[in-house]
Amino acid sequence: MNYFAYLVQAYGDVWGKAEARWNAAKPKIDAGTYTANEWTRDVLRTWLESMRPLWALGAVGIDVPTPVVGFNMTQGSALPPNDQYAAILPPIGAPVAVVATELRRAGGPDTVPAADVTASLDECILKVSLQNLAALPRGNYQGAVYVQGALDRMIALVHLVIE
């Protein structure tokens, strides 16, 4: 596939997704229930999707920074305040599944088997959720999110600070 054919196909997909978001938002806008958060999410997703084909043309072989999804919590609390989200540039092509590793104490080999780390990818938005953290001692913990089946394709780091 040449560059022109790639861009035509990629931007056809971008336009289709933007149109689907508009069609989903229009009834909410008419009803007055469309929130600023929804608008921001839709605008950012459309922008990220429209930039991804251009970045992909120039990003082959370039060292792209890995996003860090950070959590801060107080020792003994059941959960961090919320799930955390990161806008990422996922691999080009069909949507991919992602998998998160277990948390490890920063600087040490000890895994934290009681903590549950889950990750999901919705277009260009990565969502990371943590569960079962109440028993963890103070410290820094880290993990990673990979493309499922390809441990050499890390797409984000997870960092948890318990104070």
Whether residues 31 and 75 fall in one domain: no
Whether residues 79 and 141 fall in one domain: yes
Predicted structure pTM score: 0.57
Antiparallel, parallel or unpaired: β 150-162 and 68-73: parallel
Encode pLDDT of 93-124 as tens digits. Answer: 667 788 888 888 887 767 776 778 888 887 77
Total of domains in the chain: 2
Structural domain for 141, as ranges: 68-162
Whether residues 11 and 45 fall in one domain: yes
Whether residues 96 and 48 fall in one domain: no
Whether residues 155 and 92 fall in one domain: yes
Whether residues 48 and 84 fall in one domain: no
| Mean of per-residue pLDDT scores for the chain | 79
Residue 6's alpha-carbon distances to 12, 45, 50, 65, 88, in angstroms, are 10, 20, 13, 24, 20
- pLDDT for residue 146 is more than 80: yes
Whether residues 107 and 156 fall in one domain: yes
Encode pLDDT of 54-67 as tens digits. Answer: 776 665 545 556 78
